[in-house]
Amino acid sequence: MSPAISETISTKIWDESAEPDNPFAAASCYCSGFDVYGDLLKNASYIDYLYLLFKLEPPNKKQSMLLEGLAIALANLGPRNHAVRAAMNAGVGGSTHASALIAAISVGAGNLGGAREVFYGVQYWEACGCEIKIWRDLIANPPQQARLDVWLPMEHTPGFDPNGVSCPTPVIQTLEHLADIGAAKHLKWLLDNRTALESAVGYPLAFSGVAAAAFYDLELQPEQAEMLFMLLRLPGAAVHALEQEKLGWRKYPFFSKGFKVTE
Amino acid sequence: MTDHSKLEKYEDNWQTSMGGWFPGEKVLLRGKNVFTELNQKSWMEYLLFAVTGRESEKIARLMEGMWVICTSFPDPRIWNNRVSALAGTARSTGALAAAASVAVTEATIFGLKPIKGATDFFYRLGDCIEQGQSLESVVRSELKQHRSVFGYGRPLINEDERIAPMMDFARSIGCGNGRYIKLAYEVENFFIHSRLKYRMNIAAVCAALLADEGLTPSDFYHMATLAFTAGAMPCFIDAESQPEGALFPLRVSRIHFVGDRQTRQWRN
């Protein structure tokens, strides 16, 4: 390195050594002490490596099962999901494939069923734990923004669906499965107290609420949970965008008769 | 809980006064015909009308001056621009570069959060002063609660070279003497004489100038969202026209590992 160059990237996650013939190519890469291409590649599952990247420690068996279950539940929320719809709009117009994922992330980042909701959801767990009285107080008196932010204030209790009627079966199935794994104190408590919380909120639990509890059981920070929630939902967005790209805009809703301009 | 979803009444039913496309006939924006009533507008006047519903050559001109003078430095070291430059060096597309740079511009230490936050602060400051509080007490309270005041202080350098040319431009079109821009300078005066020594940055100046024209924090935020693209795009073009991967390459030794160096073996 030239002596004049002193700026570096500090990281606890990643270490590299250089190839002898090229200082710009890595000969070995270590993630939190594990040889990525000499060891993890052969011995770790993708889910375990994902956990390691975020936590810098390998998961135990139950943590691994919990993250894997959550990843399967979130991988595709179906073509009616806002984020997946965003991706499909890129698909039908023949936009770049990257734009489909950007669209899915942008739309799936928000306060309604999105990653920001999960961020707040984990904060609710941090504040309330397994105390129903504290949950009820927070639901009745949600935190207020002291100054304006680029994010709009929450318009509903995070983790619950303000447009829901009763808790959808897939949400309950996911909650039951994840709570049953055994590493999930808060998911178990959520399963036992779901209807009490729903009564206090006035509308049912959503996938975002199950995800927030799962991330909290995995001891992830709110911002880590926000990132992972975006990441884990991308497969569905990708495949639905690709499918609609093939089918084209003529076979995709334009809402021709559903749009009315009131002058 | 209800027996029916609240969404049913919206199914195939989006009613809006914002406007829309009438295929083969016309386009309406906020009740005005784009082809016959808005066709002589500049793009900035059109954007102002789209965002706020207001028609004002003066505000559009002020906003345009802000875009030119304050928001689009063609420097790939600036973080949002660097994203476009990286897209160029990695041979991605211009639109993807711009989309990423716009998204990254929604930052805390520069860009859209200070823009929205500073406008919000000046309105709250003005209200508090009207209710009898002193400027000093409001600023101290803001600092105590948030440890910062949007529009004051700047990464890398304290003084902001954009303020003088921006104020010159604002005055040249009849702006720059309103209540909020005066408050902005009073807040700077408070900071200069405090131990923090913060100087005002351009977000405060632009926010105050636009607050004096009656723009809300959201108005300014929406108007400014695309403002930074004229800085990002030249960075993309520059990087795209130079050899692949040539933008600030990092050798392995530039990674400074600060974790535990002990090698571990994966166990299933």
Distance (Å) from the alpha carbon of A120 to chain B's nearest alpha carbon: 19
**What sign results for the dihedral spanned by CA atoms A10, A11, A17, A18?**
negative
Taking an 8 Å cut-off on Cβ atoms, the answer to whether B250 and A18 are in contact is: no
pLDDT (tens digit, 9 = 90+) per residue, B218-245?
A: 999 999 999 999 999 999 999 999 999 9
ipTM of the complex: 0.92
What average pLDDT does this structure show over B135-163?
91
Those residues whose C-beta lies under 8 Å from the C-beta of residue B187, and which sit 6 or more positions away, are B125, B135, B139, B149, B151, B152, B200, B204
Domains identified in chain B and CATH numbers: 25-55 (no CATH), 57-105+230-242 (no CATH), 115-224 (1.10.230.10)
Q: Does A31 touch chain B (CB under 8 A)?
A: no
Q: At what angle do helices B179-192 and B135-146 cross, to 10 degrees?
A: 70
Q: Are B229 and B80 in contact (CB under 8 A)?
A: no
pLDDT, position A4: 62
B172: closest CA of chain A, how far (Å):
31
State both tokens at A52: 């390691």
List the beta bridge partners of residue A19: A22
Query: pLDDT: is B5 or A87 the higher one?
Result: A87
Nearest by CB to residue A39, choosing from B11, B20, B266, is B266
β-pair partners for A107 = none
Helix-, strand-, coil-residue percentages of chain B, each rounded to 5: 50, 5, 40
B6·A163 Cβ contact <8 A? yes
What does the pLDDT profile of chain A (263 residues) look like in tens digits?
Answer: 454 668 999 999 999 999 999 999 999 999 999 999 999 999 999 999 999 999 999 999 999 999 999 999 999 999 999 999 999 999 999 999 999 999 999 999 999 999 999 999 999 999 999 999 999 999 999 999 888 999 999 999 999 999 999 999 999 999 999 999 987 899 999 999 999 999 999 999 999 999 999 999 999 999 999 999 999 999 999 999 999 999 999 999 999 999 999 97
Would you tell me how many other CB atoms lie within 10 Å of the CB of residue B214? 12
Beta carbons of A225 and A119 less than 8 angstroms apart: yes
DSSP class of residue A251?
G
Distance from CA of A246 to the nearest CA of B (A): 22
Give the integer Cα–Cα distance in Å for A136 and A193: 12
Question: Does B264 contact A33 at a Cβ distance shorter than 8 Å?
Answer: yes
**What pairing do the DSSP bridges indicate for beta strands A14-19 and A22-31?**
antiparallel
Tell me which residue has tokens 């990708």.
A238
Q: Which of A122, A112, A116, A46 is nearest to A85 (CA)?
A: A112
Residue B43 tokens read as 């793009």
- Measured between alpha carbons, how far is B126 from B207 in angstroms, rounded to an integer? 13
The alpha-carbon gap from A118 to the nearest alpha carbon of chain B, in Å, equals 20
Contacts of B40 (CB under 8 A, 6+ apart): none
- Residue in B closest to A61 by C-alpha: B268
pLDDT at B211 over 80: yes
C-alpha to C-alpha distances, B100 to A106, B93, B237, B246, nearest whole angstrom: 11, 11, 15, 20
Instruction: Give the C-alpha separation, A25 to B250, whole Å.
Output: 9
Strand B14-16 relative to strand A259-261: parallel, antiparallel, unpaired? parallel
Question: Hunting for tokens 């909290």 — which residue is that?
Answer: A216
Q: What is the mean pLDDT of residues B39-51?
A: 98
Q: What is the mean pLDDT of residues B30-48?
A: 98
Residues of chain A positioned with their CB less than 8 A from the CB of B127: none
- Nearest residue to A62 (alpha-carbon basis) of A257, A235, A214: A214
Contact A15 B257 (CB under 8 A): yes
Q: Which chain A residues are Cβ-neighbours of B100 within 8 angstroms?
A: 102
- In this complex, do A99 and B120 lie within 8 Å of one another by their Cβ atoms? no
Q: Give the pLDDT confidence of A103-117 residue by residue, as tens digits.
A: 999 999 999 999 999
* Option in A14, A39, A204 nearest B255 (CB): A14
| CB-facing half-sphere around the CA of B41: CA atoms within 13 A | 24
Q: Say how many CA atoms lie within 13 Å of B15 toward its Cβ.
A: 4
In DSSP terms, B192 is beta-bridged to none
The reply to whether A93 touches chain B by the CB within 8 Å rule is no
Chain A: residue whose CA lies nearest to B149: A147
The Cα angle at residue B207 between residues B204 and B211, in degrees rounded to 5: 135
**Residue B106 clears pLDDT 90, i.e. is over it:** yes
Phi, psi of A35 (to 5 degrees): -75, 110
Positions of E strands within chain B = 14-16, 19-22, 26-29, 32-33, 255-257
Confidence at B1, pLDDT banded by 50, 70, 90: very low
- Residue B23 exposed, middle or buried by CB count within 10 Å (0-12, 13-18, 19+): exposed
Residue from A220, A163, A209, A204 nearest A187 by CA = A209
Interface of A with B in 94-123 (CB under 8 A): 96, 98-99, 102, 106
Helix B112-130, helix B217-224: angle, nearest 10: 160
Interchain proximity A10–B103, CB inside 8 Å = no
Q: Which residues from chain A sit within 8 angstroms of residue B93, using beta carbons?
A: 96, 98
Tokens of A126: 């941090």
pLDDT of B3 reads 61
Chain A residues whose CB is inside 8 A of the B259 CB are 11-13, 15, 32-33, 56
At B231 the pLDDT is 96
- Give B22's contacts in chain A (Cβ within 8 Å): 261
Residue A25 per-residue DSSP state: E
Distances (CA, A) of B184 to A103, A155, B58: 38, 32, 21
Out of A11, A23, A164, name the one closest to residue B252 (CB).
A23
Q: Do B264 and A11 touch (CB under 8 A)?
A: no
For B90-126, letters b (16+ CB in 10 Å) and e give eebeeebbbbbbbbbbbeeebbbbbbbbbbbbbbbbb
| Residue-wise pLDDT tens digits, B250-267 | 999 999 999 998 999 998
CA of A179, closest CA in chain B: separation in Å?
23
Q: Is the distance from CB of B197 to CB of B158 less than 8 angstroms?
A: yes
- How far apart CA B184 and CA B152 sit, in angstroms, is 9
pLDDT higher than threshold 60 for residue B2: no
